[in-house]
Amino acid sequence: MFWIELLIVMLIIFWGVRKGGTFLAMAGGVGMFVLVFILHVKPSDPPVTVILIMIAVICASSTLQACGGLDFMVRIAEKVLRRNPKMITIMAPIVAWLFTFMCGTGHIVYSLLPVINEIAIDTGVRPERPISASIVSSQFAITACPISAATVATLGFVAESPYASQINLFSLLIVAIPATLLGTVAAALSVMKKGRELADDPEFQRRVAAGEIEDFSKKEHTYKPATRNEKVSVAIFLTAMVAIVLMGALSKMVLPRFADKTTLPLTAVIEMFMLIAAAAMVVACKIDSNKMLDAPIFKTGMFAVVLAFGLCWLVNTFIGDQSKFITDNMSALTNRYPWIYIIAVFIVGAITTSQSSTTMIMIPIGIALHLPANILIAGWMCANANFFIPASGQCVAALAFDSAGTTKIGKYVLNHSYMVPGLVCTVVSVLTAIGLGAIVY
């Protein structure tokens, strides 16, 4: 029965990925019907904790965007990059990582790509180098951000598992932040000499001769002064993030204890503080709270919520029904050869091109396999494998933003600009997470 149920789950995931978008969640409902009504599998509870955390985080992030806080942060990043033009290949990926870390979505990199492209061409640097590394780093920061959909999903799963005493927000960040940052730097270094120099690139020279390349050296850069609402919203949002992390670090001292001797779970803290941050931004900035409904972050975030409901419910039901088989037959193999699980996460990440989807599929499986905590988190780093098959929105968009035509997807698809920095970042992040995790956990 295990293999029949597994086949059904995999076919549903494959079908959902092929159709794209929120259909993956809808297909999860079809899979639930097959498992429950045809195979008589008892359904697990939907991942309510994960969904509630996601909704709270989306409220805060989209309110920040509605207040203009994200635009303010983009202008700061542009100033930083323009002050260090010769270091664009190193600085751009680090700034992209930082932006995703603070905002919780890799889509924020879209606002940086025109700036990166302009600075690179103006300084004679091949744009492919900083752009490809920035795309990769902006994705890997997802698994280091305390409020990303993938992170809150992971926290939601481990909070209700035997890993709860080992893995919390603070211990997760202690491992994930250095791992992905080191991976980012390594990815940037790996492309420092990638491809021909811009002056020797025939496609760039053709575009220059055809007048298709703008002379950025003559362009004036003016920045509108930051408004009060922009500054206040960013301050509130970052304060809430810092407060959540500190409460995770000092949970035994600051979290309230109740009459039944239990302590407030950190998942509830994240929910409360994100909603408080959203409310504080609305009140302090005096904006219409309905504006958050039109923010792009709200739309992309709610996609993750829908996905968590349909897809996660299906995977949890399968694992709940087959937990004994998984424990008895597969945990010994994966504990002896942990790279099997790590590679499996990478493959799923490459197919789904979504960190949140991969997290919702593979973290419950890793928990069921009783993997060592450091292997579980190291494998989670591979959820960022959406660069491998360059079909994600960020990979495709970067091609258009590179006006020099140096960022490419090759004739054989996999020989693309993101492969080298992506693989380097993956290997360094995974190895660092294994080593740090062995110490922390």
Q: Poorest-confidence range of 185-199, 226-240, 278-292, 354-368?
A: 354-368
Q: How far apart are CA 35 and CA 314, in angstroms?
A: 9
Residue 289 in domain: yes
Question: How far is the C-alpha of 348 from the C-alpha of 76, rounded, in Å?
Answer: 36
Residue 198 in this model has a pLDDT that exceeds 90? no
CA distance 81 to 63: 26
Position 54 in a domain: yes
Flag the least confident range among 146-150, 264-268, 329-333, 437-441. 329-333
Q: How confident is the model at residue 215 (pLDDT cuts 50, 70, 90)?
A: low
337: which residues sit within 8 A by CB, 6+ positions away?
none
Name residues whose C-beta falls within 8 Å of residue 263's C-beta, 6 or more positions apart in sequence.
251, 252, 255, 256, 257
Q: What is the pTM of this model?
A: 0.80
Residue 244: how many other CB atoms lie within 10 Å: 21
Res. 38: pLDDT tops 90: yes
Residue 75 and residue 226 in contact, taking contact as beta carbons nearer than 8 Å: yes
Q: Which residue has the tokens 């025109």?
A: 114
Instruction: Please write the tens of the pLDDT for every residue from 126-170.
Output: 999 999 999 999 999 999 998 887 898 898 888 888 898 888 888
**Contact between 105 and 141 (Cβ < 8 Å):** no
Residue 35 maps to a domain: no
The percent of residues in the chain predicted with pLDDT above 70, rounded, is: 97
- Cα–Cα distance for residue pair 55/304, rounded to 1 Å: 9
Q: Count of alpha carbons within 13 Å of 124, Cβ hemisphere only?
A: 3
> Going by C-beta distance under 8 Å and a sequence separation of 6 or more, which residues neighbour residue 231?
72
Q: Are 135 and 112 in contact (CB under 8 A)?
A: no
Tokens for 281, please give them.
């931004």
Q: pLDDT at residue 219 above 70?
A: no
Give the range of the structural domain holding residue 135, as residue numbers without chain letter.
46-440
Mean pLDDT confidence for 217-238: 81
The tokens describing 355, both together, are 């960190």
Q: What contacts 227, CB < 8 A, 6 or more positions away?
A: 68, 72
In a domain? residue 288: yes
Confirm whether 113 is domain-assigned.
Answer: yes
**Selection from 353, 415, 391, 394 nearest residue 131 by Cα:** 394
What DSSP character marks residue 46?
P
Neighbours of 114 (CB within 10 A): 12
Q: What is the DSSP letter of 227?
A: P
Residue 89 in domain = yes
Average pLDDT over residues 264-288: 91
Are 383 and 362 in contact by the 8 Å Cβ rule? The answer is yes
d(CA 9, CA 1): 12
- Structure confidence by residue, pLDDT tens digits, 308-346: 788 778 887 887 888 777 777 777 777 788 899 999 899
- Using a pLDDT cut of 90, give the percent of the chain over it: 38
Structure tokens at 7: 């086949």
**Residue 4's pLDDT band (cuts 50, 70, 90):** very high
Q: For all residues of the chain together, what is the average pLDDT?
A: 87
Q: Is residue 13 part of a domain?
A: no
Task: Give the span between the Cα atoms of 91 and 87, in whole angstroms.
Answer: 6
Query: Is it the case that residue 249 has pLDDT exceeding 80?
Result: no
- Pair 152, 139: CB distance under 8 Å: no
Q: What's the whole-number mean pLDDT along residues 197-225?
A: 76
DSSP, collapsed to helix, strand or coil, labels residue 1 as coil
Domains held by the chain: number: 1
Does the residue 15 lie in any domain? no
Euclidean distance between CA atoms 242 and 412, whole angstroms? 45
**Averaged pLDDT, 34-41:** 94
